[in-house]
Amino acid sequence: MDTLITVGQLVLSLSILIVLHEFGHFLPARLFGTRVEKFYLFFDPGFSLFKKQIGETEYGVGWLPLGGYVKISGMIDESFDTDQMEQEPQPWEFRSKPAWQRLIIMLGGVTVNFFLGFFIYAMVLFAYGEEYFPAENITAGIAADSLGQEIGLESGDHILRVGQVPFERFNDRIVLREIAINNARDIEVNRGGETVIVDVDPKWTDLLTRYENKNARLFTMRMPLVVADVAPGGPAEAAGLQKEDRVVSVDGTPTPYFDQFTEIIQRQKGQTVTLGIQPKDSETIKEVPLTLTEEGRIGVAVAPPDYFYKTERQEYGFVESLPAGVNQGVSFLSDQFKAFGQMFAGNIKVTESLGGFASIGSMFGSTWNWERFWYMTASLSLILAFMNLLPIPALDGGHVMFLLYEVVTGRKPSDKFMERATMVGFVIVLGLVVLANGLDIWRWINN
């Protein structure tokens, strides 16, 4: 069921983006009197799942979910309709239109995706606002995970800045982004009342972007272990633990924070330990024997961060949300450009960052959350626009590249050249799709 939810979100998101992207080509084509023969969601080699002729255009849904297309008369595209191109140009064909009109038609798809991404970001902010933990509210500091410890962070640190960026909202992704994308080479922390500079080795640009570390945390909030719920039939229920009990020690060793508790019990899996338990609204500490599971667990759900720390929420009116959504989209695109720069510089391995449908789908999660769904859809819309602008024949960017050449030089590339270039581009794009999804399969086999 979880897999179906993930797949459902991915298919719905991509369907929305593909249809609107193709509509971005369709609308200016029709405005300029260009005939559009087909408008398809997904590809239809051999047959289609659904099709209906309306006027000059056949609308349909293909069976191969690798994108979608509009077939514009008189245009060299992935349909490779060479018979049509051997005929005399007709007034309604793409090739008969002025270069500036053809340029607008080709830029229509990415233009829609850019504006759509910005607009969805804005509407997510308008509908949900932004809830966050101010870093200053996390009075106990961070609980450094293994990756964070390797970088040089310690549990209890209060992060002040990463590179030149102040750490104002508590989120380890901010630290990861600044190191991996913006080449931050130091982290300033308050450690035990003293300001300490943690030097960051350049190797972490590569390490933090590896697929194996995609979901790894650098740190979380340091907080006490307070029982939120007790699992039926588990060790905690057998030991008599109750909701809102606080675990303060293990075998006499104080564990005021959850990370300290975890560190101790992971060394005593399957053994019997003595927990110090402080019930809610009581100063009394009672000792309770408990046998850990073979995985080193006690069978409780722990209280979430907002049980201990106060969040803040920034609300946006409709008008306020629009520039905020654009800023969020521009920041996202800026990170993508910088990531590409890191790849070309050799600091980030392409094979570690590249992923296919499984990698994209996993980012939606296995539960349906509309806020996350629309946020991911906005991000994918901008990625689709960015990738389509790459100067690869068969992509919009390739067509734009040749059209700009025509506008500047006044010379139009021959139809035969465009056919060959589009074929080469199609092979490149297909190869990238196979590589990306092959990497997903390889990772799945090796996990």
Please provide the distance, in angstroms rounded to a whole number, between the alpha carbons at the two ends of the chain: 21
- How far is it, in rounded angstroms, from Cα 219 to Cα 197? 17
pLDDT of residue 413: 82
pLDDT of residue 80: 55
Length of the chain, in residues:
447
- How many Å is the Cα radius of gyration of the chain? 28
pLDDT at 146 over 60: yes
pLDDT at 206 over 70: yes
Q: Which stretches does DSSP call E strand in 145-237? A: 158-162, 165-166, 186-191, 194-199, 219-221, 225-230
pLDDT of residue 1: 66
pLDDT of residue 81: 58
pLDDT at 79 over 60: no
pLDDT tens for each residue of 259-271: 999 999 999 999 9
pLDDT of residue 173: 92
- Residue 74 in contact with residue 95, Cβ under 8 Å? yes
pLDDT at 77 over 70: no
Tokens 């790849």, residue located = 343
pLDDT at 238 over 70: yes
pLDDT at 373 over 90: yes
Average pLDDT over residues 176-185: 91
Which positions ≥6 away from 21 have C-beta within 8 Å?
Answer: 68, 109, 110, 112, 113, 384, 388
DSSP element (H, E) containing 132: strand 130-132
The pLDDT-based confidence of 282 (bands split at 50, 70, 90) is: confident
pLDDT tens for each residue of 115-134: 999 999 999 999 999 999 99
pLDDT at 402 over 60: yes
DSSP element (H, E) containing 189: strand 186-191
Average pLDDT over residues 372-389: 92
Percent of the chain clearing pLDDT 70 (strictly above): 96
> What sign has the CA pseudo-torsion 86, 88, 94, 97?
positive
Which positions ≥6 away from 88 have C-beta within 8 Å?
Answer: none
pLDDT at 83 over 70: no
Structure tokens at 43: 């590809």
- How far is it, in rounded angstroms, from Cα 436 to Cα 360? 11
pLDDT of residue 358: 74
Average pLDDT over residues 143-150: 94
The pLDDT-based confidence of 219 (bands split at 50, 70, 90) is: very high
Compute CA distances 139 → 136, 162, 196, 222, 308, whole Å: 7, 19, 17, 8, 10
pLDDT tens for each residue of 90-110: 788 888 889 899 999 999 999
Compute CA distances 28 → 33, 93, 241, 276, whole Å: 9, 13, 67, 71
pLDDT of residue 440: 72
pLDDT at 447 over 70: no
- How far is it, in rounded angstroms, from Cα 88 to Cα 98? 17
pLDDT of residue 105: 93
Average pLDDT over residues 167-188: 93
pLDDT of residue 293: 92
Q: What is the pTM of this model?
A: 0.82
| Mean residue pLDDT across the chain | 88
pLDDT of residue 395: 83
pLDDT of residue 84: 62
In order of start, what are the domains of the chain with their CATH numbers? 2-126+371-446 (no CATH), 135-221 (2.30.42), 225-302 (2.30.42.10)
The pLDDT-based confidence of 78 (bands split at 50, 70, 90) is: low
Lowest-confidence segment of 113-127, 350-364, 387-401 by average pLDDT: 350-364
Average pLDDT over residues 308-326: 94
pLDDT of residue 156: 95
The pLDDT-based confidence of 17 (bands split at 50, 70, 90) is: very high
